[in-house]
């Protein structure tokens, strides 16, 4: 019995230690926060002073190269530069160009740190907005060392650095590494992240399409979505050639159909109508997406195809067809045909009402 | 062997069992709180060091709010949802045949317009009578008025009408913290296999919230409410984080959870014949995904916070816990195949077993324990000194544990606690482990009494008007 009591005593002791740990941690955090706050003021003075002078201050370089190896000092530094970027963005650009060597030196150290700290360092150097001309080999080596990191946050922060850095070749190389290593990159996130690219957008797009076939289907979907979200429609011919082959991955094909629902390309109409006419329950998604995409292709052929789709067996296809038809001028004959089908009429009535609610 | 010896042997077995039961429970709590605290600190460091995925266009989410006689709270709830920091979501309020003015209040307040929407009933639900809609600040608010069918049925109706691929369920008397949606979808961005995420439900009694943010934190004035704060923290931050480590969470609170719609529809949606629809759905998802060999993950997100009113009277608390245990019983009977079944791995051998022994059957086990102690005492078989020492240490151990978890939680969330509340929490952690636990055990026990007659009765908790700024 006493042995059991001993176990309980041990637990009790550990729980007391846990409470002490909590209290200790609170005190430790307070001390750290105080230190960060003090360092923030100190670093701000140094940086403001460096901003005043055209000449590079070697002492500052040595000082920060030494101090910022500590993660909490890096936090203090980050809070200063974040604040200064808001108020003195041009001057800060110059500052980062002049003092980039600090980060080159730090890259050597942070490459050895744990993933969480690596991710933070990548976050900070991204804040510095190093243009591709400025970012040195050391920094790029550091970034590429964490592209394959097991931490999704480290990978994401590294990719965000590359988008900000604006070198299309590095971005595509990094994406190829992630893809080749089967590392996870959320589809929505990838498409949205590509929109953050600060370099030459055209060159990035060219490079992505040049390597398109080397990417996995998941990446292809994100790339297509990126082209759909971006504002230019210069690359439709490339994707049109991909639309010719319906045997490719279904989700990729659907992404292509959506792309041609955003940007009108008369030569894509054939494929959209073909997709709308595909029969079979398992192919309903093709009909569903094409019914939606056809809304921008105003013609009698499309209108009739959509009216026909209002009678589709699948409820969602009918809904999308009705949504698209709401953009067309419907004649009395069209309305008579629609009204002859209860489902079709119901759906179109709803869409018209919905438009009123939005107004 | 004479009768006294036999009785002694039986009592010895019972006493030993009871002792082992408490030791195992303490060990579980101990491990879960240590792991829970460590993970909380790790997550806090992640946030400080910007280890997070941020995107302006997260996954689109439909927020489904089932409402039955919620005229006191519904406007405030919708108002608070409209303040959420999230770009792409819609609000679907489901009036489950309320007898008060729930719908009228909403229609009048937002000048909602009736629409004749054709509804695809992908999951069975009671008849939908009317649907209203309004766009407010670019956010679509949909009101469904349907025949009364219970909370699960309302959620199914909401799923049928929801436009987006993910939905969250919440209670009409709860309030999501302003960044709750942003946080709860993060696991979805991090892992494509995530099909559901549970949020962290906190007690709003005593807390001042402004625009979905905590501006003043105090323990509630009422002792009962304060004890529930400690209890919630322990159950959410300890066991759920531990189960999360092996994809073994069996509960996503009905007050706040995110689900992938197509999986829920494929699994058959919420079961309207149970009063524990949240528990039932999560087990169903485990079973469904394993049966169909779908790679899946169910996550718990401790920083996705939903503030909920705790019952502030013993009667209400009793009703609430009785309903929870009834739901637990129904779910466990329905999915009895999970009992010690290697096909379900840790879900079966740890999570299911834990819920069976330490949640469902705990009232019986502890009652037997008490009876055994009394009989042993009467037969002079009890080492009273040992028993008192053991119980004393057990109570102090559990109290410290609750208190420690409470402190960890406040600290990682940067919530400052007054000196008064510090001592109050420390003192109440002792009462929580003794008095509140006893009340809850009694309530749980009562769930078994007349179970067959009352298994579909929803023991309602009275609502109070909430005013969130």
User: CA B36, CA B305: separation in Å to the nearest integer?
Assistant: 16
The predicted pLDDT at position B458 comes to 58
Contact A11/B at CB under 8 A: yes
Contact B118 A346 (CB under 8 A): yes
Determine contact, residues B246/B226, Cβ cutoff 8 Å: no
Q: In chain B, whose CA is at the least distance from the CA of A322?
A: B118
Handedness of CA B254, B258, B261, B263 (dihedral sign): negative
Q: Which pLDDT score is estimated for B468?
A: 46
B378: how many CB neighbours lie within 10 A of its CB? 9
Is residue A144 within 8 Å of A154, Cβ to Cβ? no
DSSP element (H, E) containing B187: helix B186-190
Q: Is B395 exposed, middle or buried (0-12, 13-18, 19+ CB in 10 A)?
A: middle
Average pLDDT along chain A, 359 residues, taken 10 residues at a time: 67 76 82 94 95 90 96 96 86 87 92 95 86 72 93 95 92 96 92 93 96 96 95 89 92 97 95 95 94 95 93 88 86 77 74 63
Q: Is residue B58 part of a domain?
A: no
ipTM: 0.82
pLDDT for residue A246: 86
Cα B385 versus chain centre, distance:
39
A-B CB pairs within 8 A amount to 129
Tell me, what's the pLDDT at B134? 92
**CB B26 to CB A9 under 8 A?**
no
Looking at the DSSP assignment, which residues form a beta bridge with residue B66? B94
Query: Whole-angstrom Cα distance, residue A232 to residue A235?
Result: 8
CA of B100 vs chain A CAs: smallest distance (Å):
26
* CATH number of the domain enclosing A301: 1.25.10.10
pLDDT of residue B469: 43
Residues of chain A positioned with their CB less than 8 A from the CB of B49? 71, 75, 116-117, 119-120, 123
Q: Could you list the residue range(s) of the whole structural domain that residue A265 is in?
A: 234-359
Chain A interface disruption, residue of B46, B60, B118, B186, most A CBs within 10 A: B118
Sign of CA dihedral B356, B358, B362, B368: positive
Interface membership of A1 toward B (CB under 8 Å): yes
A188, part of any domain: no
Confidence at residue B463, expressed as pLDDT on a 0 to 100 scale: 56
Q: Give the pLDDT confidence score for residue A132 in this predicted structure.
A: 58
CB contact under 8 A, B393 and A9: yes
Any domain includes B101? no
The residues, ordered by sequence, that sit 6+ positions from B149 with a Cβ below 8 Å of its Cβ are B96, B97, B125, B126, B157, B272
On whether residue A261 sits in a domain, the answer given is yes
Distance from CA of A115 to the nearest CA of B (A): 9
Report yes or no: B36 and B242 within 8 Å, Cβ to Cβ: yes
- Grouping H, G, I as helix, E, B as strand and the rest as coil, residue B62 is strand
The answer to whether A9 faces chain B, any CB pair under 8 Å, is yes
How far from B131 is each of A141, B100, B113, B272, CA to CA, in Å? 58, 18, 8, 21
Residues of B whose CB is below 8 A from A151? 51
Q: How many residues does chain A have?
A: 359
Whether A147 is in a domain gets the answer no
Asked whether residue A355 is domain-assigned, the answer is yes
A275, part of any domain: yes
pTM assigned to the model: 0.88
Query: Is the CB of A22 less than 8 angstroms away from the CB of B49?
Result: no
Q: Domain limits at B353?
A: 1-52+173-469
For chain B of 469 residues, list the mean pLDDT of each consecutive stretch of 10.
78 80 81 84 90 78 94 90 91 95 95 86 94 93 95 96 94 88 92 94 86 85 91 80 92 93 96 90 96 95 90 88 89 93 93 91 84 82 78 82 83 82 91 86 82 63 53
Q: What is the rounded CA–CA span in Å between residue A95 and residue A230?
A: 32
How do strand B256-260 and strand B166-170 relate by DSSP bridges?
antiparallel
Dump pLDDT digits (tens) for A78-122: 999 999 988 877 888 888 888 888 999 999 999 999 999 999 999
Q: How many domains does chain A have?
A: 1
Q: Which residue of B has its CA nearest to A78?
A: B49
Query: Does A15 map to a domain?
Result: no
CB–CB contact B116 A8 (8 Å): no
Name chain A contacts of B407, Cβ cutoff 8 Å.
Answer: 19, 22-23, 26
Interface test with B, best of A7, A8, A158 (most B CBs within 10 A): A8
Residue A320, in any domain of the structure: yes
Residue B229, token pair as written in the block: 């704060």
Number of domains within chain B: 1
In a domain, B160, yes or no: no
In a domain, A306, yes or no: yes
Strands (E), B105-226: 113-115, 128-136, 139-146, 166-170, 175-176, 194-203, 207-210, 213-217
Residue B457: its pLDDT value, please? 62
Is B65 inside any structural domain?
Answer: no
Q: Which two tokens stand for residue B329?
A: 């019983």
Q: Compare all CA atoms of chain A with the CA of B42 and give the residue at the minimum distance.
A: A116
Whether residue B407 and residue A8 make contact (CB cut-off 8 A), yes or no, is: no
Radius of gyration of chain B (CA): 23
Contact at 8 Å (CB) between A197 and A241?
no
- Please write down the HEC assignment for all residues of B399-433: HHHHHHHHHHHHHHCCCCCCHHHHHHHHHHHHHHH
Question: pLDDT tens, A32-79?
Answer: 999 999 999 999 999 999 998 888 999 999 999 999 999 999 999 999
Taking an 8 Å cut-off on Cβ atoms, the answer to whether B133 and A347 are in contact is no
């Amino acid at each position: 019995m006493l042995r059991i009591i001993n176990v309980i005593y041990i637990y009790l002791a550990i729980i007391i230690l846990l409470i002490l740990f909590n209290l200790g941690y609170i005190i430790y955090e307070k001390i750290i926060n105080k230190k960060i706050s003090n360092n923030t003021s100190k670093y701000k003075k140094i940086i403001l002073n460096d901003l005043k002078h055209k000449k590079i201050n070697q002492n500052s370089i040595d000082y920060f190269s030494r101090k910022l190896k500590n993660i909490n000092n890096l936090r203090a530094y980050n809070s200063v530069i974040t604040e200064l970027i808001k108020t003195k963005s041009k001057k800060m650009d110059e500052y980062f160009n002049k003092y980039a060597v600090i980060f080159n030196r730090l890259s050597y150290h942070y490459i050895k740190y744990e993933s969480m700290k690596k991710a933070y360092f990548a976050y900070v150097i991204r804040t510095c907005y190093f243009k591709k001309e400025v970012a040195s080999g050391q920094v790029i080596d550091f970034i590429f060392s964490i592209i394959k990191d097991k931490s999704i946050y480290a990978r994401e922060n590294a990719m965000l650095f590359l988008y900000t850095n604006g070198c299309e070749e590095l971005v595509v190389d990094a994406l190829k590494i992630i893809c080749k290593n089967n590392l996870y990159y959320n589809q929505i996130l990838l498409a949205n992240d590509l929109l953050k690219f600060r370099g030459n957008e055209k060159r990035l797009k060219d490079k992505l399409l040049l390597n398109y076939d080397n990417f996995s289907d998941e990446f292809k979907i994100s790339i297509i979505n990126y082209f759909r979200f971006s504002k230019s429609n210069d690359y439709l011919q490339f994707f049109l050639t991909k639309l010719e082959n319906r045997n490719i991955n279904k989700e990729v094909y659907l992404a292509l159909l959506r792309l041609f629902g955003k940007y009108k390309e008369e030569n894509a109409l054939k494929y959209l109508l073909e997709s709308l006419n595909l029969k079979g329950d398992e192919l309903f998604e093709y009909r569903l997406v094409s019914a939606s995409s056809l809304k921008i292709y105003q013609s009698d052929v499309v209108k009739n195809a959509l009216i026909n789709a209002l009678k589709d067996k699948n409820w969602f296809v009918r809904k999308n067809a009705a949504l698209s038809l709401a953009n067309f001028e419907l004649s009395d004959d069209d309305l008579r045909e629609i009204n002859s089908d209860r489902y079709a009429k119901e759906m179109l009535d709803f869409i018209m009402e919905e438009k009123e609610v939005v107004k | 062997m004479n009768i006294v010896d036999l009785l002694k042997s039986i009592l010895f077995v019972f006493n030993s069992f009871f002792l082992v039961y408490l030791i195992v429970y303490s060990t579980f709590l101990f491990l879960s709180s240590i792991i829970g605290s460590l993970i909380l600190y790790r997550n806090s460091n992640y946030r400080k060091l910007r280890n997070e995925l941020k995107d302006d266009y997260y996954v689109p989410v439909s927020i489904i709010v089932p409402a039955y006689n919620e005229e006191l709270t519904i406007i405030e709830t919708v108002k608070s949802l409209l303040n959420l920091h999230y770009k792409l979501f819609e609000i679907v309020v489901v009036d489950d045949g309320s007898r008060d003015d729930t719908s009228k209040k909403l229609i009048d307040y937002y000048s909602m317009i009736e629409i004749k929407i054709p509804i695809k009933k992908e999951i069975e639900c009671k008849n939908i009578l009317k649907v209203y809609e309004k766009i407010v600040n670019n956010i679509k608010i949909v009101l469904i008025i349907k025949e009364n069918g219970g909370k699960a049925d309302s959620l199914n109706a909401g799923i049928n009408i929801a436009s987006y691929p993910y939905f969250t369920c919440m209670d009409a008397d709860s309030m999501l913290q302003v960044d709750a949606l942003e946080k709860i979808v993060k696991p979805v961005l991090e892992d494509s296999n995530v099909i559901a995420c549970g949020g962290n439900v906190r007690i709003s009694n005593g807390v001042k919230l402004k625009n979905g943010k905590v501006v003043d934190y105090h323990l509630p004035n009422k002792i009962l409410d304060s004890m529930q704060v400690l209890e919630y923290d322990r159950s959410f931050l300890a066991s759920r984080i531990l189960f999360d480590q092996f994809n073994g969470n069996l509960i996503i609170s009905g007050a706040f959870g995110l689900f992938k719609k197509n999986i829920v529809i494929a699994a058959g949606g919420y079961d309207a014949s149970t009063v524990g629809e949240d528990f039932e759905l999560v087990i169903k998802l485990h079973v469904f995904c394993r049966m169909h060999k779908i790679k899946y993950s169910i996550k718990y997100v401790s920083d996705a916070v939903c503030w909920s009113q705790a019952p502030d009277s013993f009667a209400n608390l009793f009703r609430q816990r009785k309903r929870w245990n009834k739901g637990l019983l129904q779910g466990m009977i329905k999915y009895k195949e999970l009992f010690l079944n290697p096909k379900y791995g840790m879900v079966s051998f740890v999570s299911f077993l834990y819920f069976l022994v330490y949640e469902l059957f705990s009232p019986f086990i502890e009652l037997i324990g008490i009876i055994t102690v009394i009989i042993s005492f009467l037969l002079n078989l009890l080492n009273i000194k040992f028993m008192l020492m053991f119980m004393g240490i057990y109570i102090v151990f559990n109290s410290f544990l609750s208190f420690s978890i409470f402190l960890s939680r406040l600290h990682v969330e940067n919530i400052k606690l007054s000196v008064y509340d510090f001592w109050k929490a420390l003192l109440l952690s002792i009462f929580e482990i003794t008095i509140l636990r006893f009340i809850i055990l009694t309530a749980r026990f009562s769930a078994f009494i007349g179970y067959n007659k009352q298994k579909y009765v929803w023991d309602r908790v009275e609502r109070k008007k909430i005013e969130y700024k």
